[in-house]
Amino acid sequence: MYEEKELGKILGFWYRVKHYQWLTTFNAAILILFIGIIVIAKGFAIQYPDGFNLKQFINDFYANAGTELISIAITVLIIDTLNRRQADKFEKRRLLRELSSSHNEIALRALKEIMANGYHVDGSLVSADLFGSDLRGAEFFGGDLREAGLHFANLEGADLSGVNCTRIVFWKTNLKNARLDQATLKDATMIYCDLRGARVTRTQLFTVRSLRGTTLPNGRLYEGEFGLEGDTKQARADGVNINDANALTQWYKISYEDFYRSLDLRKSRPEITDWE
């Protein structure tokens, strides 16, 4: 019985060693302290072969202590910096998750924190996935939303003044009464969006990549009058003669339901790469 108990202890110890269960922060500190004591004892034996000299020891201690304190200070600063960076990373991830919320209150609260920390201008929102987010009344002004995905998002009444929306994807996005004054829309994709009442100029829309199915600020459906590159390429891919005005107009007027069904037939999905 006693031998079985001892064998169990040995096997349990070996299992913990093998799976690193023993290597807790406390155990690691004790192990390092123990090794440090051994190194110091060995160092004393080498440094004072003729016996211990207290005066010499004190002189050496001051020099070594100063060096060690500087090393400790540098180590603490490095660890603190790394911890801050890690905390910032987790905080940004949390805020991005909340920003993409389908609950308006949660999304706006996250945006408020993002702007307070300057995350809206430091590149943290570049390529952000904001699918289905409810950002009604949001104030992004001056932010950086390059290449962000706002598929099925609700941005009604949002302020996007001065925002960098280069290569952003608005896919069936509600942009009614949104402010896009001075916003950069170069190569933006706007598919089946609602721009009724939005503050955006024709000059801005000329720089967009695609406007198929989008309702313009005046309430009229876009019919290809800007000759946008993305629309032209997609029409060709769909087998439309782009030199046939009637055929092209009908292509622009296709309902979203029929358009989405055609995507299924092509085994395709509404991604940014569809418009490359």
Q: What are phi and psi of 174, to 5 degrees?
A: -85, 110
Domain membership flag for residue 107? yes
Residue 109 burial (10 A CB sphere; 0-12, 13-18, 19+): middle
Domain membership flag for residue 146? yes
What span, in angstroms and rounded, lies between the C-alpha atoms of 46 and 63?
18
What span, in angstroms and rounded, lies between the C-alpha atoms of 40 and 167?
62
| Pair of tokens at residue 142 | 């001056």
- Whole-number pLDDT of residue 266: 41
Full domain range(s) for residue 154: 61-221
Amino acid at 113: E
Q: Is 168 helix (H, G, I), strand (E, B) or coil?
A: coil
Domain membership flag for residue 111? yes
What span, in angstroms and rounded, lies between the C-alpha atoms of 86 and 80?
10
Question: Which residues partner with 171 through β-bridges?
Answer: 191
> How far, in Å, are 129, 143, 274 from residue 133 at the CA level?
9, 17, 22
Radius of gyration of the chain, Cα coordinates, nearest whole angstrom: 32
Domain total for the chain? 1
Q: Hunting for tokens 């308006």 — which residue is that?
A: 104
- Whole-number pLDDT of residue 69: 67
In our burial notation (b when 16+ CB lie closer than 10 A, e otherwise), range 232-253 reads ebbbeeeebeeeeeeebeebbe
| Nearest in space to 176 (alpha carbons), one of 219, 223, 221, 112 | 219
- Whole-number pLDDT of residue 134: 98
Q: Within 10 Å of residue 33's Cβ, how many Cβ atoms?
A: 10
In our burial notation (b when 16+ CB lie closer than 10 A, e otherwise), range 181-202 reads eebbbebbbbbbbbbbebbbee
Domain membership flag for residue 65? yes
- Whole-number pLDDT of residue 25: 61
- Whole-number pLDDT of residue 236: 92
What span, in angstroms and rounded, lies between the C-alpha atoms of 169 and 146?
9
Domain membership flag for residue 35? no
What span, in angstroms and rounded, lies between the C-alpha atoms of 154 and 174?
5
Contact 140, 121 (CB under 8 A): no
- Whole-number pLDDT of residue 243: 86
Size of the chain, expressed as the number of residues it contains: 276
What span, in angstroms and rounded, lies between the C-alpha atoms of 6 and 205?
80
CA angle 245-248-252, nearest 5°?
135
Q: Hunting for tokens 């304190």 — which residue is that?
A: 69
Amino acid at 160: L
- Whole-number pLDDT of residue 61: 64
Domain membership flag for residue 231? no
Instruction: Return per-residue pLDDT of the chain as tens, 276 residues.
Output: 555 555 555 555 555 555 555 556 667 667 777 777 787 777 767 766 766 666 666 666 655 666 776 777 777 777 777 778 787 889 999 999 999 999 999 999 999 999 999 999 999 999 999 999 999 999 998 999 999 999 999 999 999 999 999 999 999 999 999 999 999 999 999 999 999 999 999 999 999 999 999 999 999 999 888 889 999 999 999 898 988 888 888 888 877 776 666 555 444 433 333 323
Domain membership flag for residue 230? no
Domain membership flag for residue 93? yes
Q: What is the CATH number of the domain that holds 132?
A: 2.160.20
